[in-house]
A and B are shown apart, each in its own frame.
Chain A
């Protein structure tokens, strides 16, 4: 019961912080809301007994993604002061696309039949996840790492085009 209430509060707070990621007028605040949202997701993982996933979420997403976003914010816009306006405001086209996406999501959620409660097939420990990655799911796992490597090389090539 207590765990359910905690989970509901966590989920609500995650949705609130996700809302402020897009609703912030100052992009820098949006980035910090995103950090809060990703951290919340990690806490939800802990509440669901998946501490390994939670730690990885913090290291990869909260730590990594946010740091890259900070660099993005700082390097792309050149202006003075602490406020970076969100350029996506007052744009009917973007609002339409976002609205359509939201409607599709709502439709998908409403038409999905209620799922039965499931028990996890593994305990979610690092040990078991590691064995699955390097056993049953070896090929998808390695294919993903090659994909990420290709993405990284692509980013370096694009970023250093001018240097040559």
Chain B
């Protein structure tokens, strides 16, 4: 961390922004390549080696496209809705330490924009706001498919927020910390949550991962944009760069959600054997470890996306309220019991 918060925000914030935006763009190329391989195709090949320049060409195309606003749309809301999803997701990334190092026997977070001491709550609060722009867009479009998609998005977002909070409570209770750095520091000292809490830690990780998928509207939870039922979901009426921003925000959300899950359950940038190395080496190794874990989760999300079917809207609600919420409560209760009995 650079001591001056303004300078730290500028330097680290700029770096995080640049890395995330580049990865977000590359993710769309990577998904096309990956899905093509799964289906025995070759994917993009024309622009650059392996077609890797395709997302940049896509962005240029989207910016040039005509920007249409439907005649009967709510012009103001229609115009401002696409601004929020990317902004909110990048805000989420502000409290994630992307690296770390040992100093005086304590794990410190590094490469983070702000070390908020209620970081976990901050993450949950911003994820909860993600339904706003979707609803705004769905309503303002004045299109029945957009509106249905917005209704589904709100219902899904509100429902899956609850098991998500419950899953996030497990590492919070176990570590006694509310900041993302604090949770990671505890894991560096006592072991990663997935392994430290037998069964419960792993189940909480799976729950958090599933609900993050739902919050980011990825298969099997992507009913708000189910193209076979709802044309293009909330972005049906959007053209050009506005629809591009919605699509980019979904890649970014998946990426940031993977990073948050890595921090909460997989020890963030921590790997065994770092203690004793010079600080710069620790920061470099932990940065690589953090991105390795994050991208591994990211890959698995797209693996699921391209090999799993989509749930029906009512099945999705049933899964949440009948199984995930009671399951989450059980996980929280068992963690609390384990902590108060001194087993953790």
* A contact set with B: CB distance below 8 Å: 26, 28-29, 32, 35, 51-52, 55-56, 58-59, 62-64, 66-67, 70-71, 74, 81-83, 125-126
Is the beta-carbon distance between B73 and A82 smaller than 8 angstroms? yes
Q: Count contacts on B: residues with CB < 8 A to the other chain.
A: 28
22 contacts between A and B (CB under 8 A): A26-B74, A28-B139, A29-B76, A35-B132, A51-B116, A51-B117, A51-B122, A55-B118, A58-B125, A58-B126, A59-B121, A59-B125, A59-B128, A62-B128, A62-B129, A63-B128, A63-B129, A66-B132, A67-B157, A81-B142, A82-B72, A125-B117
Is the beta-carbon distance between A56 and B121 smaller than 8 angstroms? yes
The smallest beta-carbon distance between A123 and chain B, in angstroms, is: 10
Task: Report chain B residues within 8 Å CB of A62.
Answer: 125, 128-129
Apart from the given pairs A55-B118, A58-B128, A125-B117, 12 other A-B contacts in the complex at a CB distance below 8 Å? A28-B139, A51-B122, A52-B121, A52-B178, A55-B121, A56-B121, A58-B129, A62-B125, A63-B129, A63-B161, A64-B128, A66-B132
Task: Report chain B residues within 8 Å CB of A83.
Answer: 74
Task: Report chain B residues within 8 Å CB of A56.
Answer: 121
Task: Report chain B residues within 8 Å CB of A59.
Answer: 121, 124-125, 128
Please measure, in the bound complex, the distance between the C-alpha atom of A131 and the C-alpha atom of B124, giving whole angstroms.
22
Binding site secondary structure of chain B: helix
Task: Report chain A residues within 8 Å CB of B131.
Answer: 67
Please measure, in the bound complex, the distance between the C-alpha atom of A66 and the C-alpha atom of B154, giving whole angstroms.
11
Most B CB within 10 A of own CB, among A29, A32, A64: A32
Q: Which residue of B lies closest to A83 (CB)?
A: B74
Is the beta-carbon distance between A126 and B158 smaller than 8 angstroms? no
A71 contacts which of B74, B116, B154, B161 (Cβ < 8 Å)?
Answer: B154
Task: Report chain A residues within 8 Å CB of B74.
Answer: 26, 28, 82-83
Is the beta-carbon distance between B151 and A74 smaller than 8 angstroms? yes
B158 contacts which of A26, A29, A67 (Cβ < 8 Å)?
Answer: A67
The smallest beta-carbon distance between B222 and chain A, in angstroms, is: 20
Is the beta-carbon distance between A55 and B132 smaller than 8 angstroms? no
Indicate if B140 sits at the interface (CB-CB under 8 A).
yes
Please measure, in the bound complex, the distance between the C-alpha atom of A82 and the C-alpha atom of B72, giving whole angstroms.
8
Task: Report chain B residues within 8 Å CB of A51.
Answer: 116-118, 122
Within 8 A of A (CB), among B106-145: 116-118, 121-122, 124-126, 128-129, 131-132, 135-136, 139-140, 142
Task: Report chain B residues within 8 Å CB of A63.
Answer: 125, 128-129, 161
The smallest beta-carbon distance between B161 and chain A, in angstroms, is: 7
Q: A32-B77, A63-B161 are in contact. Are A82 and B129 (CB under 8 A)?
A: no
Please measure, in the bound complex, the distance between the C-alpha atom of A81 and the C-alpha atom of B116, giving whole angstroms.
43
Please measure, in the bound complex, the distance between the C-alpha atom of A81 and the C-alpha atom of B172, giving whole angstroms.
45
Task: Report chain B residues within 8 Å CB of A64.
Answer: 128
The smallest beta-carbon distance between B201 and chain A, in angstroms, is: 22
The list of the 4 closest CB pairs from A to B, nearest first, reads: A63-B128, A55-B121, A58-B125, A82-B74
Please measure, in the bound complex, the distance between the C-alpha atom of A114 and the C-alpha atom of B161, giving whole angstroms.
43
Is the beta-carbon distance between B154 and A82 smaller than 8 angstroms? no
Within 8 A of A (CB), among B183-239: none
